Amino acid sequence: MIPFRKNLVTRMDNIRFLLIVAFGFLVVLLWENWQKDYGPKPAAVVSSPAPSANVQEDLPTATTGVSTQTATVTQNEPIVPITPPPASKVITVKTDVITLEIDLQGGSIKNLDLLQYPEENDNPIVSKVREMFGLPIVVKNKAPIRLLDGNPERIFIAQSGLIAGNGSAAAPDHHSVFTGQQEVYSLQPGQDTFSVPLSWTDNNGLVVNKTFVFKRGSYEIGLEHSVNNASAAPWSARQYSQLLKLPVEEDKGGGMLTGLRAFDGGVIYTEKDKYQKIDFDDMVEENLDVTTKGGWTAMIQHYFASAWIPPADQENHFYTKYLKSGQYVIGSYSPQVTVEPGKTSSFASRLFVGPKIQPIMEKVTPGLELTVDYGVLTFIGKPIYGLLNKIHDLTGNWGLAIIGVTLCVKLLLFPLTQSSFRSMANMRKVQPRLKELQERFADDRPRFNKEMMELYRKEKVNPLGGCLPILLQMPVFMSLYWVLGETVEFRHAPFMLWIQDLSIKDPFYILPIIMGITMKIQQGLNPAPVDPVQAKIMKMFPLVFTIFFLFFPAGLVLYWVINNTLSIIQQTYITKQINKTA
């Protein structure tokens, strides 16, 4: 029995050490993310690029066979400033959910605003409190989020065009000048869809009509290139669609926990390998060269995604490029199509530019919902999101949905937590006797361990029983952290009273303080570790966590408050039941 007792003591020490390390890791994680969100930011280092004057560098290179990749540019090569071209005319388009501009030079889409997603939101209760104390009212930026941007310092545009085959006359690419029929288009009452036509001709019989199609309530934009070959010779071309972006310095993360943040960069979806991330460093090191049936290419960021979706039944070639101007390109081109003299042909594609709402994205194309990045714990985060969504459908309030998920998690872990709390209650009951043994055998550690194990055996106490539920809670907590941080539905989502945005910190820090109090109460219901050093460390956790939770999303703190409150109720009841039978 002595070897068993020694092993059990060792396991107890290891488990306690593991819990302290796990909590320590969580503290480091909280610190890293606090620094990321609220710490000092380095000054953004931005080049001075604009749409490249070199019409070859930012175009896909294709032959009748495979693509010919351009030379790779190393990260150490200096950025080459580009002189902006003269401003061209634009067509303004407005639907019920987006506004955008179509540049007649190339028919590129830029300056796309999401009308239902303002940069910031008002909190009337905070404003009233500030007014009561004579503090100035903070003016919020209610301008809509600009997803695609024509600003040379933050350029992000959707480009498309045609690449002429060998021996064919020139094709209109995103540098060619188109003509339009009117300067402004908008969705009218009772209208569900409308088109914006552009036209280009080489004055030798080749006419290309480029048409964008917009729908009510949709973040999906249809694109069609219709070719009328009235020349005397056959003409061949491919259609390409690409996203060009200049990521600014603040878009890039740092630190050892960068991988735990939402991904910002390129992604593709292929028939063979499905969803793949391609960060900007990958684009610098190597040009993507992949052929697949269907699929899509995209640039994604926190809450929002922009994706070109070619026809699912055709073979598409995916590519990336890093330009000397510091810009990145990801896109695809179609198989080559030949248009005989006197014939017409067309190419099609779709552009999704909007919030990463999973049920909507699932209907657009397979795999697009995977752009919602829940990190390494996606297998837990996805079910949590699904449960949150179902509860929200019933309650209409995301705060109540979080409370509902907390209840469901507690019910799921109820058998384990019930056993854990019983074990901790029994441990607390024998704590005075354990303290007495510790004092009696302070200089004889082996004898103390022997007597402690005998006490546990006699009182039927499992010293390891309280550890497993705590360890199981941690991945749930981390998954919920990613779900709340990455799910766009929580952005500006109100709960009640002063909590008008579950995705940002509590403006009055009330929830974090309540969380710290509940954590301290719960800690008081648990037996203190025998090791005085461990006991001192554990006593610090409520204060440390309260400080960090001051700056964390209110929705996450709400989950922890409800979880702690339920645990306190459950543990208090079990302790009373055990004390009655004592």
What is the reported pTM? 0.79
pLDDT in tens, 205-235: 999 999 999 999 999 999 999 999 999 899 9
Q: Please provide residue 377's backbone torsions phi and psi, each rounded to the nearest 5 degrees.
A: -105, 35
Residue 290 shares a structural domain with residue 316: yes
pLDDT in tens, 23-63: 555 555 555 555 554 444 443 333 333 343 344 688 887 64
Using CA atoms, how far apart are residues 372 and 356, in angstroms rounded to an integer? 6
Residue 525 shares a structural domain with residue 405: yes
Residue 24 falls inside a structural domain: no
User: 556 vs 268, which has greater pLDDT?
Assistant: 268
* Alpha carbon of residue 449 to chain centroid: 49
Residue 364 shares a structural domain with residue 389: no
Rounded to the nearest 5 degrees, what angle is found at the Cα of 456, between the Cα atoms of 454 and 462?
145
Who contacts 97 (Cβ-Cβ below 8 Å, separation ≥6)? 114, 115, 116, 217, 218, 219, 354
Residue 386 shares a structural domain with residue 287: no
pLDDT at 63: 45
Residue 442 falls inside a structural domain: no
Residue 270 shares a structural domain with residue 410: no
Task: Give the residue from 435, 411, 450 showing the smallest Cα distance to 527.
Answer: 435
Residue 393 shares a structural domain with residue 498: yes
pLDDT at 81: 44
pLDDT in tens, 314-360: 999 999 999 988 999 999 999 999 999 999 999 999 999 999 999 99
Residue 366 shares a structural domain with residue 389: no
Using CA atoms, how far apart are residues 349 and 151, in angstroms rounded to an integer? 25
Residue 229 shares a structural domain with residue 333: yes
Rounded to the nearest 5 degrees, what angle is found at the Cα of 384, between the Cα atoms of 389 and 362?
55
User: Amino acid identity, residue 158?
Assistant: A
Residue 426 falls inside a structural domain: no
Residue 34 falls inside a structural domain: no
3-state SS class at 206? strand
pLDDT at 49: 38
Residue 213 shares a structural domain with residue 323: yes
Query: Of 373, 406, 429, which closes a domain?
Result: 373
Residue 19 falls inside a structural domain: no
Q: Is the pLDDT of residue 156 over 80?
A: yes
Domain count for the chain? 2
pLDDT at 20: 54
User: 7 vs 513, which has greater pLDDT?
Assistant: 513
Residue 123 falls inside a structural domain: no
Using CA atoms, how far apart are residues 552 and 528, in angstroms rounded to an integer? 28
Residue 341 shares a structural domain with residue 274: yes
Question: In the structure encoding, which two tokens stand for residue 375, read together?
Answer: 């990190």
Q: 80 exposed, middle or buried (CB, 10 Å; 0-12, 13-18, 19+)?
A: middle
CATH code of the domain containing 225: 2.70.98.90
pLDDT in tens, 56-101: 688 887 643 333 333 333 334 444 444 445 556 999 999 999 999 9
Question: Which CA distances in Å does 34 have to 16, 26, 450?
Answer: 27, 12, 45
Strand 206-215 versus strand 220-229 pairing type: antiparallel
Task: Give the residue from 424, 234, 244, 434 showing the smallest Cα distance to 329.
Answer: 244
pLDDT at 470: 64
Residue 163 shares a structural domain with residue 251: yes
Question: How sure is the predictor about 542, in pLDDT bands with cuts at 50, 70 and 90?
Answer: confident
Residue 158 shares a structural domain with residue 275: yes
Q: The domain containing residue 553 runs over which residues?
A: 381-417+466-581
